[in-house]
Amino acid sequence: MITKMQCATAVAAVVGLALGTSGAAQAEGLKLTVWHNTQDTPAVLGLYKAYEEHSGNTIELVDIPADDFQATTLTKWASGDRPDILEYFPNLANLDRLNPSQNLIDLSDEDFVGRSAIYDLGGRASDGKVYAAITTFPETWGLYYNKQVLADHELEPATTFEEVMAQCAVLSKAGITTLHQAGGSSWPVYATPLVYASGVTEPGWVDDVIAQKARFDDLDSPWVLAMQAWIDMKDAGCYNSDMTTATFEQSTNAVYAGEAAYQMIHSNIAAVYLDAAGGDADALDAAVGFVGVGATEPKTVMNAGPIGSFMAPKTGDDAQEAAALDFIRFVTGEGYPDYIQASGTFPIQDGVPAPDASQLLKDIKAAYDKGPRVILINQNVPGGDGNGLQVVSELSVGQLTPVEAGGQLQQGVAAAAQALGLPGW
């Protein structure tokens, strides 16, 4: 059940708020609902409170569970329900699902767009307009690893799937899980084939899919290759025995405790690792590192993530829309430097100083900088592999072969392309 909570009590005030780039609306003591991910970091939660203090308005958080974040958000959205502020995935495929030209305020002319190159990566829909304000360093996908486990077995952090498979032979003999999977949380299992497929996708492949020159179920498609690699690792005994029921928090705990060598997931989970370490950043840095990973050669897979990415839905209430814009301008403007310092992550806006980050976050930044960087394969595919979680779930328990799974993904792409009215579909 989705719950609501107040961030703080509103301060009685009269606040002048600009709507768009011209004109103004006056509002006082407004309550703004925010659909937010329950994995919001303490820094993001602090950003909501900072806005309350800045504006005199109140933020009411509507919890969207991280385990089923995308599906829950889309279900609520499809019901016609709207928040004042939406925290959600800012990539093209997910923005298109929201029918942004009709339902979201165009942010293209806002000042923050010109202060960051991140809008070359995300925040824009198919019409080229910016609908999402991104505040957080891009999600960088790779391997969290236990330093002591690797050292005890004289292994270096793996930077390719081939190296993970080779290390699996060593670690399995010692009774250590090589790559911890979390089927109980559904989406983390999806991460492994997603990262693999992203690393082997040839330039132009997505365009060929849209032009119907290539399919997801082709024998040489990135997805078929990726799902076969996932099965090969399962058959080799590289995964935990409770992989179908374990949660991603259990994965982080297993890696931190040295019960597993690796977890493949994105950089925003660093905060969950800090929780596993009881909030002790030094203990975490001593135990856990991070490295980028590719299929057959080192790569850094990345995307703009949902945590700290905000949209302003059109609600039909001028005062509420103006207040939502005021929130977005605050979190990308006056409130942004303090947020970066509190988060310990790296700024994406020009001229904002970086904080003194933990070693784990420095590892993540180093992986991002090292590259070569590639964008997640599903970011610009119609529908964004919207049925991918279900497909990989069925693959993981042997209900689908890799080619059959690719066929299911192809059906999802076709349905999305038809809904978007793409030519030829």
pTM: 0.76
- The DSSP symbol for 10 reads P
Domain ranges within the chain, ordered by starting residue: 4-138+304-349, 139-303+360-420
pLDDT in tens, 261-280: 999 999 989 989 999 999 99
Residue 6: the pLDDT is 38
Residue 21: the pLDDT is 35
- Lowest-confidence pick of 63-72, 216-225, 247-256, 357-366: 63-72
On the question of pLDDT at 8 being above 50, the answer is no
Residue 5: the pLDDT is 36
- The DSSP symbol for 32 reads E
pLDDT in tens, 319-336: 999 999 999 999 999 999
Q: Give the position of tokens 């997505």.
A: 206
Residue 266 CB neighbours (<10 A): 23
Give the confidence band of 387 by pLDDT, cuts at 50, 70, 90: confident
Domains 4-138+304-349 and 139-303+360-420 share a fold: yes
CATH number of the structural domain 139-303+360-420: 3.40.190.10
Measured N-to-C along each axis, helices 161-173 and 222-235 cross at an angle, to the nearest 10 degrees, of 10
**Residue 66, amino acid:** A
**Residue 129, amino acid:** K
On the question of pLDDT at 370 being above 70, the answer is yes
Structure token pair of residue 218: 């082709």
Is the domain 4-138+304-349 a CATH 3.40.190.10 member? Answer: yes
Going from the C-alpha of 216 to that of each of 198, 265, 386, 414, the distances in angstroms are 13, 23, 13, 11
**Residue 300, amino acid:** T
On the question of pLDDT at 25 being above 60, the answer is no
Between CA 89 and CA 306 the distance in angstroms is 4
Residue 315 CB neighbours (<10 A): 16
Residue 365: the pLDDT is 92
Between CA 108 and CA 131 the distance in angstroms is 7
Q: Are 304 and 118 in contact (CB under 8 A)?
A: yes
- The DSSP symbol for 312 reads -
pLDDT in tens, 123-150: 999 899 999 999 999 989 999 999 999 9
pLDDT in tens, 297-327: 999 999 888 999 999 999 999 999 999 999 9
